[in-house]
Amino acid sequence: MKGFAKPNYFICVLISTVLVSCSGVSTKQEKVHRMACEAGIPLIQVAYAEGDSCTVFEASAFQETPARMDAGTVFQAASLSKPVFASIVLQMAHEELIHLDTPLVHYTDIERFEDKELACTLTARTVLSHVTGLPNWSTGPGSEEWPTAPISFKFTPDSAFSYSGEGYAFLQRAVEAVCGAGLEDIARSRIFEPLGMDRTSYVWIPAYDSLATDGFNREGESGGKGNFPRANAAYTLRTTAADYMKFLRYISRENLPEREWLSGMYLPVVQAVRYHDRPRECDSTIFWGLGMGMEKHPELGEVSFHWGDNGNFKALFLMVPESKVHKERILVYFTNSRAGHDIIGSMSSLFLGNKKPLAIENWVLD
């Protein structure tokens, strides 16, 4: 499909001015719009909450991808799928339906694993903290071959951080076996419906025909909406910023007293050295808990986060603990662009006010 040109700075400012005068867009919204224009991001959707207040909006850089007035465009959430599933697992552990330290072989088969002995040691805890020793994927998870493709280990389990969608898919099979239901039905009954996330799903639903956006490469060429052949806890979630904010508030620190079983999400288990052949300075402050990462930041404290990357769809959330000045702050944004992570630093400083850059930016981008 033919792409569209990145708008120049003058056009970007002009469009922003029209938006402000016509619809009362705030200064932050205007700046986000300008960021999108300058980065060549066709559409960005943002939700920001502090205490009881919450702002949700969309900004469009191109006429071909107009923003919805209700900020209800549906995006691929990519790996923001994982924290939702992690919360389900922790809820089930609280109900004693599954045990975090019981080998998953007790719940499901290990036929695909080449090393059965190592596979027998994998638990929900090792999966959620990404210390399974597994690769991200054995082969493309959307391929016909993936459901039967053999899985090999990169490291001995529990020896090192090794980010793995394959581990999440294995845990998904265990959860589905325990529940006697598929991922979508489990998530709908435990998370989506109770929280009113009516535009969120791990599978395609009819409403997405009109609500879902295409994803675009850096040249402005559309790659389409994307088609996932099966629900996968690691990457197939589609949602909106407003819906996902409901989930983030559900797992937020301020709600932990009434949902103590989620506290493991905030406790560091392993230092997240993303590339073992080339450790970086940013790795030193990044850790992983049960389902999401955290950065120990000198200004913001322990910033919980997760990023999403499905190629032409990029997403990120940041959760900042309460301080003497601020109540807990939560930022989540979705983009339909391969350039979506180029603005992590700008988005953070705009909404969170940090002067020292987040290590998360380099950790995700490099």
Specify the DSSP class assigned to residue 350.
Answer: H
**Confidence (pLDDT) at 45:** 98
CA angle 118, 120, 123 (to 5 degrees): 105
Query: How high is the pLDDT of residue 24?
Result: 36
Pick the closest to residue 303 from 232, 363, 224 (CA basis).
363
pLDDT in the model for residue 6:
54
pLDDT score recorded for residue 1: 40
Task: Give kind and range of the element (H or E) at residue 116.
Answer: helix 116-119
Task: Tokens for 212, please give them.
Answer: 């879902």
**Contact assessment for residue 68 and residue 74, using Cβ atoms and an 8 Å cutoff:** no
d(CA 354, CA 356) in angstroms, rounded, equals: 6
pLDDT of the residue at 361: 96
- What's phi and psi for 102, nearest 5 deg? -85, 130
Angle at 166 between CA 171 and CA 345, to 5 degrees: 105
User: For residue 263, what are the contacts with CB-CB under 8 A and spacing of at least 6?
Assistant: 256
Of 190, 130, 175, 131, which is closest to residue 156 (Cα–Cα)? 131
What is the model's pTM? 0.94
Q: How far apart are the first and last CA of the chain?
A: 29
Write the Ramachandran bin of 315: left for phi over 0, alpha for psi from -120 to 50, otherwise beta: beta
- Bridge-based pairing of strands 270-271 and 314-320 is unpaired
The pLDDT of residue 26 is 73
pLDDT attached to residue 194: 98
Q: What is the pLDDT of residue 366?
A: 75
What pLDDT does residue 348 have?
98
Mean pLDDT per 10-residue interval, the chain, length 366 residues: 48 36 62 95 97 94 93 98 98 98 98 98 98 98 97 97 98 98 98 98 97 96 95 98 98 94 97 93 97 97 98 98 95 98 97 97 92
CA-to-CA distance for 68 and 89, rounded, in angstroms? Answer: 34
Residue 24, phi-psi category: left (phi > 0), alpha (psi -120 to 50), beta (remainder): left
